[in-house]
Amino acid sequence: MHRFRQLLLIIPLLLVSCGTMRKSVVPDREEVVLSPSDQRKYEYYFLEAVRLEQQGHYDEAYEMLRHCLSLCPTAPSALFKMANYHFALNQKDQAAAALLAAVKGASDNYWYKQNLAAYYQSNQEYDKAISTIEEMQAQFPKRNGELLPALVGLYGHTEQYDKVIDALSRLELLTGKSEAISMEKMRNYLLMGNQEAAFGEVETLAAEHPDNSYYRVVLAEVYMDYGRASEAEPILQGILTEEPDNAAAKISLAEYYKQQADTASYLAMADSLMMATNVSDDFKVRLMLQLITENTDSLLVLDLFERAMPLPQQTANLGHLCAQYMISLDQPEERVRPILLRMLEIEPDHIPARSQMLAYAAQRNDIEEMIRICSEGIDYTPEELDFYYYKGIGLSYYMDRPEEALETYRQAVRQVTEESDANVVADIYAEMGNLLHAQGETAEAYSSYEASLSYRSDNYLVLNNYAYFLAEEDNNLERAEQMSRLTIEAEPHNATYLDTYAWILYKLKRYEEALTYIERAIADDPEPSDVLYEHAGDICHQLGIRHRALDYWYKALDLQRESGMVDKQLEKKTKR
């Protein structure tokens, strides 16, 4: 394992030989003057260290640097690189000493000093970091564009607001006046308590750009934020006189009316913003959300939504909020549906919109509509497994098209990934198992049930069905009993699960136990089926309780005669 996973400082290097140094850079060490032979060795080891480091062989590179420092302990280039390794090893004191020695030995190296300042700042030694960068300013005046922003941050950390403003002013001379600099100067003036100077910054910015209404909007917002709202309105009204569609001015004016509790004007401006085509979808969503949370009259909100929805939109976000709001108000489907259709027109792959339409179709029991919605959902979002599941349900249970349902489920399982919802995957495999078993594909059906249980081991419907089918075929009855027992432990009053468990016990010739569970099933079922009574009769017959067996069988026959479907085998049992 490499000891060095990464180097914290990756900076261009200055290769400095010991023989060129004027003075010692490490206390108590004299200057080392290398012989030509040692100088060549030093250069070889150093370049080899660089090569090995680039290849990721950090251990070997580290050893090469140690060779360099054994030849010349004061070499800045080797010290600087060795500082990197000390940082990587979390040896902060050694790293700082090596970095400081490198800077002293190569006092004209900008990168070394920049890294020293960064070290001081990361170590929260802000005074030292400031001192280093101020020294660099004098030494490297052409680098002021990089150094001044660093000083702004450091002065801010140390709450030297006057120095922040001075550094920003010098930066302004280099780069020109800008909103970012002016706003930062304004903020620091406010921190100093100099409100007039703060406003003056933004006023100057707006005055210097008279043709740019954006800066006047900024000035108006500053006035609103700091207690001079009365001065904001004429500025914003003036902008809208010149530019009636200026969205930024409308937004600020709406905020002004809200601050002034002028509800009528605020709502009028909100209406204007919602009808504007140059206002972003995100802002419209935020505005409508604000109106909703402020308990604005729902009739007004719904009217705004419905008039805004036909306008050009980049996203379906506004429609999503509108649909949610309508549903929360129990609006009928005929009012929500056009919003959902508009959302799908904008974003055909919008899953929540299509899912809501699917829910409406299911409520109406419109199976053809359900299948159509799911088919479109599969086309646009093939990874969304719910659409396959409900399409398969519609095809198999309502349209009597089991082959198409099976193919739909097979398409679905090909889309399954590690991120897929395990519950949905389990349900799809369960439905596949049911269809396959009905078609006599027993082995494949059982494989599907096993797959379903691998995704959700407590899928009790699968456990019950799988166990019952095994029992009917006298196949792996011990496994069937284990699975069925899980279902009755989870739902001890579920008559269907109790019946399955009783029938498995019957198959295992555990008749006394079977009778207990079948009688529990009959007691827990408000309308026991003919199957329950027939099973009870079969169990009593095996126990030799013939009168009770006949009683149960006759009850089963009565129910079958009512339904018009009499089992001839059951009739034979009663006669026999």
How many distinct structural domains can be found in the chain? 2
Which residues, 6+ apart, have CB-to-CB distance to 233 below 8 Å?
A: 220, 253, 256
- The Cα-based distances of 534 to 334, 405, 502, 520, 539 in angstroms read 49, 33, 12, 15, 9
* Nearest CA among 124, 151, 123 for reference residue 135: 151
| Phi then psi dihedrals of residue 341, to 5 deg | -65, -40
Reading phi first (left if > 0) and then psi (alpha if -120 to 50, else beta), residue 332 is in beta
* Model confidence at 10: pLDDT above 80: no
Would the pLDDT of 2 be above 50? no
Structure tokens at 87: 């940082």
Mean pLDDT of 294-320: 95
What pLDDT score does 524 carry?
93
| Residue 182 placed within a domain | no
CA neighbor of 76 nearest in space, from 8, 17, 12: 17
8 Å CB contact between 358 and 373:
yes
Question: Which tokens in the block code for residue 460?
Answer: 């009790």
pLDDT(11) > 90: no
Integer Cα distance of 501 and 149 in angstroms: 77
User: Would you give the distance in Å from CA 101 to the centre of its chain?
Assistant: 47
Q: Which two tokens stand for residue 256?
A: 């002004």
Q: Are 18 and 34 a contacting pair, CB within 8 Å?
A: yes
| Residue where a domain terminates, one of 71, 91, 123 | 123
pLDDT at 4: 40
Range of the domain at 540: 483-576
The amino acid at residue 410 is R
The CA distance from 20 to 13, in Å, is 16
Alpha carbons 459 and 423: distance in angstroms, whole number:
9
Name which residue leads in pLDDT, 174 or 466: 466
Residue 83: give its domain's CATH number: 1.25.40.10
What is the amino acid identity at position 556? A
Contact 204, 192 (CB under 8 A): no
> Of 109, 58, 107, which Cα lies nearest the Cα of 86?
58
* End position of a domain, from candidates 123, 156, 180: 123
DSSP code per residue over 401-450: -HHHHHHHHHHHHHT--TTS-HHHHHHHHHHHHHHHHHTT-HHHHHHHHH
Six-digit token pair at 291? 């109106």
Q: How far apart are the first and last CA of the chain?
A: 82
Question: Could you give the CA distance from residue 291 to residue 298 in angstroms, rounded to a whole number?
Answer: 9
Q: What is the largest CA-CA distance in the chain?
A: 121
**Is residue 152 in a domain?**
no
Helices (H), 176-308: 179-192, 195-208, 213-225, 229-242, 247-259, 263-275, 281-293, 298-308
Please report the pLDDT score of residue 549 as a whole number.
92
Q: Is 473 helix (H, G, I), strand (E, B) or coil?
A: coil
- Kindly state whether residue 65 falls inside one of the protein's structural domains: yes
What's the pLDDT score for residue 158? 92
Is pLDDT at 347 greater than 70 in this prediction?
Answer: yes
- 419-to-189, 383, 423, 429, 432 alpha-carbon distances in Å: 52, 10, 12, 17, 21
Is position 55 within any domain? yes
Contact 75, 18 (CB under 8 A): yes
pLDDT at 21 over 50: no
Of 284, 331, 291, the closest CA to residue 311 belongs to: 284
The domain boundary residue, chosen from 63, 93, 123: 123
Say if 23 falls within a structural domain: yes
Q: Name the strand (E) or helix (H) holding 421.
A: none
CA dihedral angle for residue 20, residue 25, residue 28, residue 29, rounded to 10 degrees: -30
Residue type, 195: Q
The token pair at 369 is 């509509």
Arithmetic mean of pLDDT, 358-375: 96
Spatial distance between the Cα atoms of 305 and 302, rounded to a whole number of angstroms:
5
Give the position of tokens 């290769």. Answer: 15
pLDDT band at 569 (very low <50, low <70, confident <90, very high): confident
Tens digit of pLDDT for each residue in 47-75? 999 999 999 999 999 999 999 999 999 89
**CA 321, CA 304: separation in Å to the nearest integer?**
12
Question: What percentage of the chain has pLDDT greater than the value 90?
Answer: 75
Tell me, yes or no, whether 376 lies in a domain.
Answer: no
Confidence label for 5 from pLDDT (cuts 50, 70 and 90): very low
Q: Classify residue 243: in a domain, yes or no.
A: no
Alpha helices by DSSP H, 385-421: 385-393, 402-414
Q: Does 10 fall in a domain?
A: yes
404: exposed, middle or buried (Cβ count in 10 Å: 0-12, 13-18, 19+): middle
Give the pLDDT of residue 28.
43
- Alpha-carbon span 347 to 353, nearest angstrom: 9
